[in-house]
Structure 1
Amino acid sequence: MDVVIPAPGQLKVLSHHQYDPKESISPSTVSPNPFEQFRTWMTEVREQVLEPEAMSLSTANKAGVPSSRFVLFKQLDSRGFVFYTNYTSRKSRELLENPYAALAFYWKEVHRQVRVVGRVEKLTHEESEEYYQSRPLGSRLGAWTSPQSSVVEEGELSRRLDEVKTKFAIDESAKEAEVPLPDFWGGWRVVPDEIEFWMGKPSRLHDRVRYLRVEGSSDNSPQWKIERLAP
């Protein structure tokens, strides 16, 4: 990559790595089911990509002002893509105001992207509980400690963590302990209406295959229209 500073306060990127994968994708070669196609790609890249579960999550408030951040994808079930967070965080507040989201996975090492757009729904308490109790002790304590997206004072998180440990009678040397699921923490599911698979190609003539949910088809057993997009 060539970076040029043509004048004070300016920055230009003049070149970029050229993609040259051996594979190709088209509407005739992908799975009829985008969830199966995603599982195939995730299985293929997990040994080659550092943290392939990292995904960009974009939300918007009721005024339509967007915001994006990276979160960790945790599950693909029969309805959609699942992640977990604090329900008082900015992302959750925006999802409550405007129940739509966009996801993007970028697997640089293998020149692939996946893009998802859809409606959101909260997981049930039982679903969130099952995942929460599978987390390491430190992560469960962290969920209680952090008032996510709120302004905090220097040192406040350390003090709050000490208070949480006292609340649940957890010794400093404890490797495991009972920590209940907070009522302000849990999962969101993105139920997709659109999923796109992208594969980098030379001269920016990338492969793009998009699945669009057929209008009126069930969330639990959707039907899909598959088409190629111009790069």
Structure 2
Amino acid sequence: MSDTQSLNEAQLADSMIPSGADPFALFDDWFALAQESEPNDPNAMALATATPDGMPSVRMVLLKGHGADEGGFTFFTNAHSRKGEEIRANMQASLLFHWKSQRRQIRIEGPLTEVSSERADAYFHSRPYKSQVGSAASDQSRPLEDRQDYLDRVTEMWGRHEQEGEVPRPAHWTGFTLKPERIEFWMDRDNRLHDRRLFTLEGAGDAVGWSDTLLYP
């Protein structure tokens, strides 16, 4: 094998994703690095849902809370949208974070629970006024005959609530938390000798805990 084809020590090194780690703490470490290096929206994640008969769909959303104390990974959406309807019909989902600057990704799978109305209110009203208006005026995912129809709604709603400085949260605008049962960390390595470790939630009651294993790349 020529020098240009030979494997170097870095490629042959042991896994750089520690066994026995707390996957929430490991997520925090990787997320912190992404916040330093990603040029836009390090909290962007692909959210995959499916209909009850198994038809999948995926789109990008923003992570708005995470951690063991949070109960998982939280995002907000219009429950009348396609994703909202799919979630309500099948309360399971998958998330994917891909941080190109770090050459890393994390896949997360598990059931969903809806946040409380108080939590939804608090987050909705933490957003800029213009974002509140844009969300409340939108029939998300529904057909729109003319963009001007939506802009007219925005203008009307803006004027109606401008004095109070906030828009009442529509009842269908809510949030969901994914409680992870599987979390897979992937790290790019040269020559496709990638590093993958899967953490799986096992047990019941007080005996619940994380096990982990390496996966072939």
Pairwise TM-score range, normalised by the shorter structure: 0.7 to 0.9
AA in 1 matched with 2:139: P
AA in 2 matched with 1:196: E
Q: In the alignment, which residue of structure 1 is the partner of 2:183? A: 195
Q: In the alignment, which residue of structure 2 is the partner of 1:11? A: none
Cα deviation, residue 223, structure 1: 1.2
Q: Is the 8 A contact 1:103 1:117 kept in 2?
A: yes
Q: In the alignment, which residue of structure 1 is the partner of 2:6? A: none
SS at match of 1:46: helix
SS at match of 2:180: strand
Could you tell me how far apart the structure 2 residues matched to 1:71 and 1:57 are? Answer: 7
Cα deviation, residue 98, structure 1: 0.9
Are 1:227 and 2:207 matched, yes or no?
no
Q: Is the 8 A contact 2:78 2:84 kept in 1?
A: yes
SS at match of 2:118: helix
Q: Is there any run of 5+ residues in structure 2 with no aligned partner, and where?
A: 1-9
The correspondence for 2:96, drawn from 90, 104, 108, is: 104
Q: In the alignment, which residue of structure 2 is the partner of 1:163? A: 156
Could you tell me how far apart the structure 2 residues matched to 1:132 and 1:23 are? Answer: 45
Q: In the alignment, which residue of structure 2 is the partner of 1:88? A: 80
Query: Over residues 37-72 of structure 1, what are the superposed CA-to-partner deviations in whole Å (9 max), with x where a residue is unaligned?
Result: 111111122111122111000000011000000111
Q: Is the 8 A contact 1:101 1:190 kept in 2?
A: yes
Are 1:55 and 2:45 matched, yes or no?
yes
SS at match of 1:26: coil
Q: In the alignment, which residue of structure 2 is the partner of 1:8? A: none
Cα deviation, residue 25, structure 1: 2.0
Q: In the alignment, which residue of structure 2 is the partner of 1:34? A: 23
Instruction: Figure out how many residues of one structure are paired with residues of the other and give that number.
Output: 203
Q: Is the 8 A contact 1:25 1:209 kept in 2?
A: no
5 Å-filtered alignment, 1:137-176, equals 137-154=129-146, 155-168=148-161, 170=162
Is the alpha carbon distance of 1:217 and 1:109 closer, same or farther for their aligned partners in structure 2, counting shifts above 3 Å? farther
Could you tell me how far apart the structure 2 residues matched to 1:23 and 1:113 are? Answer: 19
Cα deviation, residue 163, structure 1: 2.3
AA in 2 matched with 1:195: I
Cα deviation, residue 165, structure 1: 2.1
Cα deviation, residue 24, structure 1: 5.2
Could you tell me how far apart the structure 1 residues matched to 2:14 and 2:135 are? Answer: 42
Query: Over residues 174-196 of structure 1, what are the superposed CA-to-partner deviations in whole Å (9 max), with x where a residue is unaligned?
Result: xx703221111011111110001
Are 1:68 and 2:58 matched, yes or no?
yes
Normalising by structure 2, report the TM-score.
0.87
